[in-house]
Each structure stands twice: as C-alpha cells, then as structure tokens.
Chain A
Amino acid sequence: MENKDHLLQYTIPQLLRWRVATSGDRVALREKEFGCWNSYTWDRYYDLVRKTGLGLREIGFKKEDKIAIISDNIPEVLYVAIGAQAVGGISSAIYQTSLPGEIGGILEYLNVSVVFCNDQEQVDKVVEVRDRIPHVKKVIYEDPRGMRDYQSDDWFMFIDELYKLGDAQHSKDPELFNALVDESKPDDVCHLCLTSGTTGLPKGAMLTHRNYINMGLQLTEVDPLLQTDEYVSFLPFAWIGEQMNSFGVAMATGIAVNFPESVETSMDDLKEIGPHFMFGAPRIYETIRSQIWLKIDESYWLNRTFYNYFMKIGEKAAAYRMSGRKMPAGLHFLAWLGKQIIFRSLVNQIGLLRLRRAYTGGAALGPELFTFYQAIGVNLKQIYGQTEIVGIAYMHRDGDVRPDTVGKPLPGTECRISEEGEILSRSASVTPGYYKLPEKTAELLEGGWLHSGDAGYIDEHGHLVVIDRISDVMHNENGEMFSPMFLENRLKFSPYIKEAVIFGDKRAYVAALVNVDPIVVGKWAEDKGISFSTYMDLSAQPEVAELIRDEVVKINKNSEKSHFKIRRFAILYKLLDMDDGELTKTGKIRRKFVREKYNDLYEALYEEKVTEKRVEALYQYQDGQTSTVDTTIRFHTMEEAL
C-alpha cells in the first residue's frame, strides 16, 4: 500500500489544493437539488473555498477569528469552514436543533465574529439573541427564501454576495489566496468542536489540521478506501462523526462526499448513491433494522419463509465470520444461497449493497444487532473514541468483530488503563485542549494522556472493552457495582423497547423506566387488534405492559449477576426527547435530569406496595408552549428478581 504519511505536512486547505493538483477534475462533492445530483470537482470545490475565504477576509474576518456554522448538510458548510481556515480563521459548528439561548451562549463563549446559517429558521434564532452578541459582524445565509424582511439590514449577507467579494479580491490580487493558505501550519487549531457533554455547557475542543488528517490516514490504513468511493453526509456537522469524515477521511483519501436533498430525504438519497462506507450512531442502525422487519412482515409468505430460514443460517455464518474462523463447507454454501436468494436484494433495497464497511459509534450497540447486520451481509463494526481524539481511536478489524468490545487501537494510537480503571489514549489526533478552559484541559491531558472518563479494560484478545462512564457506574446498597448503561442497552436490544433508564444507586434493587418503540409496538398492537390513540395511550395498554414484562423476564434470566436483575419497571407516557433536555444532542440520557424530572415515578419504583400512580404529564412543544395531561402510570414488580 502507498505510504500517505507525507499528507501530514499539510493543513486542510493545503491538502485541498494538493488534491486539485493531483486529481482536479475528479468529483469531490455531489449535492441533490431539484431532484438532480449535481457534481462538483475538486477544482470547483477549491474555487468556491477561495471565493468564500477571500470574501470573509473582505468583510473583516481576520486570522484566528471564529466562524460558527448552524446548518443542515450542504456543500456550502465545507466551503465556509475550509474557506475560513484558509485565511487563518477557526471554524466551529452548532447543532441545528439548538435553541436560541444555547446558540447565544456558544457564540459568546467562542467569541464568534461571523455566523453562517443555511436558512431563515436558523437566522431567526441568531436574531433573537442579537443583543448578546455584539462581536458578530455578519450573518451569512445560503437560502434567500423568507429573508426578504432582513434584506435592508446589512448585518445579513447572502452567500452569493460573499462569493462576489471574494472574486473581486482574487482578480485584483491573484496570488493573495495562495499566500494566505501557505501561512498556516498543520499544528494550528482549525476547528472548535463542541462536546455534547451529558452535564452542563458544552466545551470547545480545539482540533488542529494534523488532528483531522492523521485520523483520516490512520483509519484508512486499516480499512482502505478508493478515490472512487462514495460517502453520504447526513450526520449533523456539529458532531465530530461528520467532521472526521468530511474533513479527515475525505481529504486523506479523495473520496466523494454526497449531500442529501433535505434532512427528511437522506435515507432515500442514501439509496440512490449506494455509499461504500458509512458511519452512524446506533439509533440509525436500529431504525434501519426496524424498517427491514416491517417490510418483511408486510411481504408475502414466500419472502417471509425464505427470510426466516436464511436468517438462521446467516446468524450461524455470521458467528464464524465475526470471529474469523473457517466455516464448514455446507454452511458456507447455504449462506451463499441465502445471500443470492434474499439478502442481496434486501440490502439493495436499503441502499447498502455497495457498502464495504459500516461503523457505529457514540454509544453501545446490541450484540444481536451486529449479528443481524453481519447475517444479512453488511459488515457493521464498532468504533470508539472521543471528540478530543477526532472521534475514532479504536475499531474492530474485519473478521474480528466481537460485539462486546470496541476493537483494537488504530495504528499510531497507544492505549493504557489507569489504576482507577480509566481508559487513556495517546496519538497524533489528540486535541491540544479546550478553548479558554485551562483547568479542564489540564485534567483532560494529565500526564500527556487523553483521559476518556470511561471505565474499561483490555480483554484476552487485545480488544478494548468499555464498561460505562466512570462517573455513571452505580453501586447498590450492598456496595455491589453495576453499570446502568450496560443494563439499559440490554433492555434496548429488545425491538419493543426504544429507550430505558436504569436506577438503583444506593438502593436495594435495580429498577427501570421504559419507553416502548412507537413503530414496532404500534404495529404489534394493530396486529393484536388492540386499539389506541396516542403514544401515551399505547404505553398505558395492559397488553403492552405484559409484552414488556416478558422481555424483562428474558433479560433477567440471562443476567450474569443476581444484582443485575430488574426488580421493578414502569412504562413512561412520553418518549425521552432532546428538546425536553432528557437526551443530549447525540441521544445519550441525561441521567441526573431525568431522575429529577420524574422524581415521583422514581420514588414509586422503590415503594413496592405502589402499583399505580396518577401523574401530571407536562408537554413542551418546540415553540415553547406547554400543556399538561393527567395520566396513570402502573408499576410492575418482577417476582423472581430478588
């Protein structure tokens, strides 16, 4: 394999220029607009980055100034980010779902001087906090729709205007941009990535050009990508998971990045592109599996029979494939047959036929989900890392996918377990620290190692096993340790359970609040002839409680230790939601917040005589309105667990 280490001497804009020189007429980006896929070559990509960079400079954006991006996935995000980096600035991105107050806080913290928004929805939020952010010189927007009332105000600028400014500057001084790009060094900070954090305000991890490019190189050293490979960009750009692909991997390998038409169409657009690799949070893979199940369920009997038969074969074959053992010839043949008869077309229907590798990260994924995907022929692998190490530092190798581990370190990454059991890492991708937070930085990088805050160990195969956040590990009243996340994942592996929160710190037993899956359980209820109206109504059905009870019985039967058994549970009337502050932007549970919000339910879980309780359910809508509904929650005790 060719050695690509020489790419490490470049910054991201310099590497982009290098790509133009080596393969300028290849497709770098594609965007679906008006129903058509439009391609942009590396030449055109660089052109637009130059326009944006010089344009930004014209409106007073200087070296080390910050630009914040609040946008859906569109190519302009990359032009703006890399354009800003090219003139020595620092980019950062904010989740599109953030509320105005949060946006104001982040813009203040990062001392942002220019904001880029894709549409009026995001611009409106920035306008709402305008008084708080006098340092913001311009708000640039991409979609002029609905912006007519802002046009008289020169605080706002249409991106085409910015391009024009950049063009004018370029024709005046054609050498300027090159000189500016040359000024930066690979170790300069280029992006501030906000860590979602399950507690408090986000922290801005400073990441350098070298951090990103190194990550892209190390990843592709293990799993090589071709220049002709395709990637679909549908993760929020504020998440490290998207940046590591569109900055790191795309620059390091020259693959094409495809942008969906809109957030709602991304799964259909994925089908049209047929990517060669994809990355996603476990939720995406859970959703795709649910869709497959529904489709199979609605299909005619022959398909169902084939599916059920070959699924069993596939699972057996997957067990061999994941551990890299040699399959018996008969099984090999049947697995091949199953692939030809059903799985090839099934996988093609969801657009993953060309996929060589799928990665999941951000949270744990159930073992049977790995088995499921491996059985239908999708090479799904776990990765592990933090924002502070550009997302990926550990990964499964092909043919060595152990569902309970997160794999081995990438080349160039060192791993150590501290005396307290914390996972420590070291590599060229580790951040120089948090922006404006020297104490947090010192804690994070104590002794030259990146402190993950996760408890874990290395197993006998050299794989890293992550247990839970060190701060989240709980002890029951007898001092026996258990990991709530581990138990929650057990619950979530049931198709009927969408989300679960485990309690039991300093208590006599483990208890759970459960969210049923609206789609799967809704379909199940329809098939059983159980009528329901809303999600709340569905959750309160006694048959649904029985269904969940059966699932809990199964889980309890398989639990390794007796204190892992779930003694009591209740089904929550609403889905845990980011907008209500119950989940982080990446979908992790805000444990403390949930515990306080549902305190009366929590108390009732630990009063065994309580079997039901009336509660006032508070709903908050996206526009801030609230309403309350009275409902009754039932509590279920598992007799065998204790």
Chain B
Amino acid sequence: MTHLIVSEATLTFGGLNALTKVDVTIEPGLITSIIGPNGAGKTSLLNCVSGFYHPTSGRIRYGQRNLTHSSPHQVSNMGIARAFQNLELFRGLSVLDNLLLARHQNLNYSIFHALIFFGKASRIEAENRVYVEKVIDFMELEPYRKKMVGNLSYGVQKRVEVARALTLAPKLLLLDEPMAGMNIEEKEDIVRFILDLKKEWGITVVLVEHDLGVVMDISDQIYVLDFGEVIGSGSPKEVAANPRVIEAYIGEE
C-alpha cells in the first residue's frame, strides 16, 4: 500500500506564502479530509500534489516516487486522479465522450491502426468502453450517457466530473469540493459514492470540502489548514476538540 507524504511543503507566490511547511500524510485505503476557511491553502495543496504547482521548498512523495516536480500527466500516470472544483469538462460533448476521452492515455495504438480501426485499435477502444461503462454504472449516470454535458444540471455535472476522474482507474482520488452547490439529496448520493469507492473499490480518497457535517461523518482522518499552515489533525473527534481549530472556525471568545 502506498502512502502519499507531503513534507515541509512551502509554496510562495511573490512575497505571499500560500503554504508554509505543510506536513500531511495520506494513509492508503482511508478517507482523508482537508478543511479550513476560504483562502487557507486547501486547493493550493491539491495543486501541488497533482502537479499544477510545484512547492517552492519541501517534498512530496508517493510511495517510492518523488513527485515534487512531476507534471500533471506524470502524476496521473502514477494513479492519482483529480476531480476539479470548477468543472473541467467538454460542455459540448456527451457524458460518454467526455469519459472516453479521459482515458486517452490508455489509447496506445498507432495512427495506422486508427485508420483501419481493426485489431488493436478496436480492441483497445472496446476495453475502454467496458471500463467507462463500469464507471457509468457506479456513478449511476445511465440516464445521461448520451446527453450533452452542458445541458445537464449542476449536480449531475459534478457527478460526471467525479466519474471523469474515476475513468483513469486511480488508486488515489483527489476530490475538490465535490458537494459544493448541491442539495441534500445530491449530497447524500455523493457521500454514498465516496464510501463505496473506499470500501468496494479500495480507492484512497482525499476530500476538500466545506460541509463540515459530511466531513465529520465520513472522514477517517482530517487535516485543518489556516493561512497556509496545518493547525490541527487527527480523527474527527480529535479535530472537533482542538482549541486552535475551534478558534479558526468560530473566532476568539
């Protein structure tokens, strides 16, 4: 089992520290949540892990591999996928096409195979479709398979975004506010998906989320960020009792 270890990561934009000496360990097979007020550096941390930013100092390791300076596609090839807070989907394509496209890194056939679409090309495309269908079934997207993403409701688009990350067959899934802007029923669905992902697919989940009720219910471990620093961590109970966390969320008395 592979741990994701962020050690002493600092990220600086000009004179501003987005992250200051952040130490985070993501245990495999668990749900780890990262919470904190707006601007605390949660998304910056995810950006560092997924290779969009590189920490100014410090290291990020995934198992034996160092991904401090890896690019996004290298990170994704290591089995780390990410669902974005602001949907990164092709709005003019169908759900199915979006998901198939997300598996492009598995399409290792040549242009000649593609031209005749015989043998390897058709076999790989079929395998991809089978995998994508498994994800569609899991995320309960059957009614939307052939609908254009741009025409779907926001809640469903969010689900497609998570599905897009899943089609990469990740071992570790980064979810950036998957429940923002959803109603209770849609949230309950997403929570069910996350729990099933952990327990039935054995995927490690890193969740950035503002809904504290959900976070406290489903997380195994929580990290609290404030002004780019880790101000508390541990089980939901420990975090809820941590005076620094209470202060950051509610303010001083």
Contacts and interface: CB of A to CB of B under 8 A. Distances in A.
Nearest to A268: B143
A579 interface: no
B200 A34 contact: no
A33 B136 CA distance: 11
B196 A264 contact: no
Contact of B196 (A33, A35, A36, A145): A145
Given A35-B129, A148-B200, 15 more contacts: A34-B130, A34-B134, A34-B136, A35-B133, A35-B145, A36-B133, A145-B196, A146-B192, A148-B199, A262-B140, A262-B143, A264-B142, A264-B143, A265-B142, A265-B143
A191 B192 CA distance: 36
9 contacts: A34-B130, A34-B133, A35-B133, A35-B145, A36-B133, A145-B196, A148-B200, A261-B142, A264-B143
B196 to A, nearest CB: 6
Nearest to B137: A34
Q: Tell me if B's interface is mostly helix, strand, loop or mixed.
A: helix
A455 B134 CA distance: 53
Contacts of B130: 34
Contacts of B140: 262
Interface in B101-145: 129-130, 133-134, 136-137, 140, 142-143, 145
Contacts, number: 27
Contacts of A35: 129, 133, 136, 142, 145
Interface residues of B, number: 14
Contacts of A262: 140, 142-143
A541 to B, nearest CB: 24
A33 B137 CA distance: 9
Contacts of B143: 262, 264-265, 268
Nearest to B96: A35
Interface in B181-202: 192, 196, 199-200
What are the 9 A-B residue pairs with the smallest beta carbon separation, nearest first?
Answer: A34-B133, A264-B143, A35-B133, A261-B142, A265-B143, A262-B142, A265-B142, A148-B199, A34-B137
B31 to A, nearest CB: 15
Contacts of A261: 142
- Which of the listed residues B136, B140, B142 has the most CB atoms from chain A within 10 Å of its own CB? B142
Nearest to B188: A623
Contacts of A36: 133
Contacts of A268: 143
Interface in A241-281: 261-262, 264-265, 268
Contacts of A146: 192, 196
A311 to B, nearest CB: 28
Contacts of B137: 33-34
B164 to A, nearest CB: 17
Contacts of B145: 35
Contacts of A265: 142-143
Nearest to B192: A146
A311 B136 CA distance: 40
Interface in A107-152: 145-146, 148
A298 to B, nearest CB: 13
Nearest to B138: A145
A65 B120 CA distance: 54
- Which of the listed residues A35, A145, A148, A264 has the most CB atoms from chain B within 10 Å of its own CB? A35
Interface string A22-33: 000000000001
A145 B200 CA distance: 8
Contacts of A145: 196, 200
A113 B72 CA distance: 56
A126 B13 CA distance: 57
B129 to A, nearest CB: 8
A582 B137 CA distance: 34
Contacts of B129: 35
Nearest to A625: B184
